[in-house]
Amino acid sequence: MISVFYKTDLDKIVALLKQNGVQIYATGGTLDFIKKLDDTVRSVESLTGYPSILGGRVKTLHPKVFGGILGRLDNQSDIEEMRQYEIPALDLVIVDLYPFEETVRNTSDQSQIIEKIDIGGISLIRAGAKNFNDCLIVPSSDYYKEFMEMYERQNGCTTLDDRRRFARYAFQTSSHYDTAIFNWFSGSTDTPLRYGENPHQQAVFKGNLEEVFEKLHGKDLSYNNLLDLEAGLNLIREFDEPTFAILKHNNPCGIASRPTIAEAYDAALAGDPVSAFGGVFVSNRVIDLKTAKEMNKMFFEVCVAPGYEDGVLDILFSKKNRIVLKLKSNDFPKKVYKSALNGILEQDRDMHMETAADFTPVTNKTINNQQDIDDLIFANKIVKHSRSNAIVLAKNKQLYASGIGQTSRVDALKQAIAKANSFNFNLNGAVLASDAFFPFSDCVEIASEAGIKSIVQPGGSVRDQESIDACNKLGIAMVFTGYRHFKH
């Protein structure tokens, strides 16, 4: 049984089913679409003996449909009843629900919104999921690819584990859908998300995303997408010149500033082309055709930019699920909140960003080269937006590598150096930024061995002098800012 709103990739599924001799039943527009591909498809009306009624509101709600889905093939009584009432066993159900959330976003017309509350489709999903022992339910076009790969790999067969997994997808889909309807009826501005940090966690966004960006294309945003966007937009606002950032798990894995956004993208990607796969791309300039063509060679989850030149969206829209956003504002509240224990923590957003005027030289060697000063400022902006403990290595306004989320600063530095070396970056003359002070001189010594010549850090350790003495001995210039930038 196939009943879908959007027909994208349905032709591929029909071809697979036809190849395996599967009898297809379909409804309405789905039937019309499939008839062009498989003339053996049957209408649901041919099964039920009833026409679609009430303007299409009632099509599949019939015992011959739901009996075929819910019939237990290991239950003799069910089998006899199905035979008595001529109910065929339906062992595959494919549904793509009416786009309720999309309709709510695009209109305030209540009658249009009400008509996009799917009844038959949601019932098919729940029935197929309930009887996963005998039926496979594909509850959304989001799962077409996984279904087709499984179907081809297993020559048209499914296992109980497969069906149970897709049943889980089904209840997740129906739960999300019903939550969106509930929120609309209750007047809530909550935006239901596909799931939380992990698929077994439900999640909503409490706020108005339309104030931040316009969603132009792609699947629904996830909880993790929003965390990456929060991190990326806070980072990119620190930069005035053309800058491109690539984020993964809330941390920049590639970022560069260049005269053009195309050059910035190339340099950002070079910083870590491995981690960039599946990342979130953030630009502070309009994306041009040259940049878009290069971006399109990569798989990425989300792209956000202040605008797109003519022809760019045609390129970026070539991947169905790729999320493309147009930034409206990254002016966020001055307070940030985080749940903790049985309450909520509140603090001021970290809005301070040091300039060269905040750099206090503390070593014999001073920094007079403008490029080094610019690189220290650049690196310090990045380390502010990296998970602590964090170390950033940069050169020529390009992130070479970072060590992030480590329990010791030494480990963070070693991680950064190893990563830079793995991508063949020459660290001679590079700069180092640390989000907090060096408790010992060991980081200075390790940095010197790697070729680092300039360091920016907050200072404030009771052993600052040890790090200063080590810099003087090794010929490294170091400045203190007086501002720590922990991020947890």
Phi, psi of 306 (to 5 degrees): -70, -10
On whether the CB atoms of residues 129 and 121 are closer than 8 A, the answer is no
Six token digits for residue 147: 């279904």
Q: What is the DSSP string of 321-385?
A: T-EEEEE------SEEEEEETTEEEEEE-------GGG-EE-SSS----HHHHHHHHHHHHHHHT
Residues tagged active-site: 130, 249
Select from 116, 125, 143, 17 the least CA-distant residue to 66. 125
> Which helix (H) or strand (E) element contains residue 215?
strand 213-217
On whether the CB atoms of residues 468 and 337 are closer than 8 A, the answer is no
Q: Which residues pair with 279 in a beta bridge?
A: 300
What angle in degrees, to the nearest 10, is found between the helix axes of 160-186 and 120-130? 140
| Side-chain-side CA neighbours of residue 301 (13 Å) | 20
Distances (CA, A) of 40 to 6, 17, 26: 21, 11, 11
What b/e sequence results for 219-246 when a residue is b if at least 16 CB atoms lie within 10 Å of its CB, and e otherwise? bbbbbbbbebbbbbbbbbbbbeebbbbb
Phi-psi region of 202 (alpha: psi -120 to 50; beta: other; left: phi over 0): beta
Six token digits for residue 261: 């956004």
Q: How far apart are the C-alpha atoms of 157 and 167, rounded to whole Å? A: 16
> Which helix (H) or strand (E) element contains residue 302?
strand 300-305
Give the chain's largest Cα–Cα span.
96
Burial (CB count <10 Å: 0-12, 13-18, 19+), residue 208: exposed
Q: What angle do CA 58, 61, 67 make, to 5 degrees?
A: 165
Give the distance, in angstroms, between the CA of residue 178 and the centroid of all CA atoms in the same chain.
Answer: 22
